[in-house]
Amino acid sequence: MPARSGTAPGSGTGTAAWYRHFGTVDAPGSSPCYADWSVHIAEDPELIARIDEWPYNKRQPLLMLAAARFLGAEISPYREFRAFLDAHWAEVSGIVLSRATQTNEVGRCATLLPSLAGIAAAEGRPLALIEVGASAGLALFPDRYSYEFDDGGTVTRVGPAGFGGPTRVTVSGEPPPVPGRPLAGSRPEPPVLHCRTAGPVPLPDSLPEVVWRAGIDLNPLDVRNTDNVAWLEALIWPEQEFRRARLRRAVAVAREEPPLLVAGDLNEQLPALAARAPADAALVVFHSAVMGYLSAGGRARFRTTMQGLTHSRGCHWLSNEGETVIIQEDGSAVVPEMDAERLRGNFLLQHNGRPVAITGPHGQSLEWL
């Protein structure tokens, strides 16, 4: 669980406040259903008492709601959802206690792609990728997905050769439908990742070559395990069917050649894994939506490890994290020149500690700085 999400800021403390905050601040823009359910849960002392029987880090709204969805809860009025919980409470508890929020958002590849391609071009060699906090490792396949970057007037497509013709196509106005034919050699059809752009985004002409990919996670999810994939689908907000569709396509791509995923703490595992990367490739260590799970000490240790790797190995470090990681314990900001308001609800993408873009948390937007 992200360290910061323990108490809803400004709305009191405790589980009811947590659900109220989730239902009134976090959910409304993405899921009217979750917003409605969470607000009702906050007003339901009997249910709150049951949730409070779980360990503190298991009480978070998204975990409980995803557990219910995993078990089949459909979008419905709260009364029906409450009846579902009553009928399935023991199973909901079982899922909550055995699973964690590990959303693997493949859309984030769109916001990483320009940086990855830029690194490969500057280094003049292919990439070796390590993702820390990789979940199922779906972001380790940026070279296998298709992209549509839309600056409001022009749509630029970049994709694997063999999918939809040339590697890069620029289309003005309404984009034509993405071709639905399979890749040459009957490879699965890749997800198409749409991303709104602003500013001078260095869009690549082609996808970078990736010769090695590996991830680290406390609990790696194997894409070949159907329960794991069902859990990843349940973690997506109910109304966001487009995210489930692209997740399924990404899973099909990853299943062809499942990535090497090391189980363990990123601080413990990273040095040894980095030593396994091929020396003739440009090593990139990246992460999205992970640092919030670490204590301030864990983040400081990670920064030191990364600074060491960038010096000793010439490794590149891409950090794509939310505002809470930017604000430090003492209240100071990692990027003092950045207006906190501009970041609110967004992620900051940094390359070797230098801010390069403000990104949508699910990869839906990329504003180059």
Ligand X SMILES: C[S@@+](CC[C@H](N)C(=O)[O-])C[C@H]1O[C@@H](n2cnc3c(N)ncnc32)[C@H](O)[C@@H]1O
Q: Where are the alpha helices (DSSP H) in the chain?
A: 15-21, 32-42, 45-51, 61-70, 78-98, 109-123, 226-234, 241-256, 266-276, 296-313, 323-326, 340-343
Closer CB to ligand X, 2 or 175, in the complex:
2
Who's near 106: CB < 8 A, 6+ residues apart? 138, 139, 145, 191, 193, 246, 247, 250, 363
Tokens 């950045």 belong to which residue?
Answer: 338
Bridge partners (DSSP) listed for residue 348: 321, 358
Closer CB to ligand X, 39 or 236, in the complex:
236
How far, in Å, CA of 305 to CA of 267, rounded? 8
Q: Are 38 and 15 in contact (CB under 8 A)?
A: no
Instruction: Tell the smallest beta-carbon distance from residue 182 to ligand X (Å).
Output: 25
Closer CB to ligand X, 142 or 164, in the complex:
142
Closer CB to ligand X, 118 or 292, in the complex:
292
When CB distances to ligand X are compared, the closest residue is: 133
CA distances from 126 to 25, 106, 130, 286 (A): 42, 21, 14, 16
Instruction: Tell the smallest beta-carbon distance from residue 104 to ligand X (Å).
Output: 4
Instruction: Tell the smallest beta-carbon distance from residue 148 to ligand X (Å).
Output: 19
Amino acid at 149: F
Instruction: Tell the smallest beta-carbon distance from residue 266 to ligand X (Å).
Output: 4
CA distances from 154 to 34, 85, 190, 200, 206 (A): 35, 47, 22, 13, 17
Closer CB to ligand X, 42 or 261, in the complex:
261
Closer CB to ligand X, 156 or 269, in the complex:
269
Instruction: Tell the smallest beta-carbon distance from residue 82 to ligand X (Å).
Output: 28
End-to-end alpha carbon distance in the chain: 30
Closer CB to ligand X, 295 or 307, in the complex:
295
**Rg, Å, the chain Cα set:** 21
Binding residues for ligand X (CB under 6 A): 100, 102-105, 108, 133-135, 139, 216-219, 265-266, 288-290, 293-294
Residue (of 112, 117, 113, 110) closest to 195 by Cα position: 110
Instruction: Tell the smallest beta-carbon distance from residue 286 to ligand X (Å).
Output: 9
State whether the Cα torsion 73-55-267-272 is positive or negative: negative
Instruction: Tell the smallest beta-carbon distance from residue 305 to ligand X (Å).
Output: 12
What percent of the chain is helix, strand and coil (3-state, nearest 5)? Answer: 40, 20, 40
Instruction: Tell the smallest beta-carbon distance from residue 326 to ligand X (Å).
Output: 17
Closer CB to ligand X, 4 or 40, in the complex:
4
Instruction: Tell the smallest beta-carbon distance from residue 222 to ligand X (Å).
Output: 13
DSSP annotation of 6 reads G
Closer CB to ligand X, 48 or 289, in the complex:
289
How far, in Å, CA of 334 to CA of 330, rounded? 11
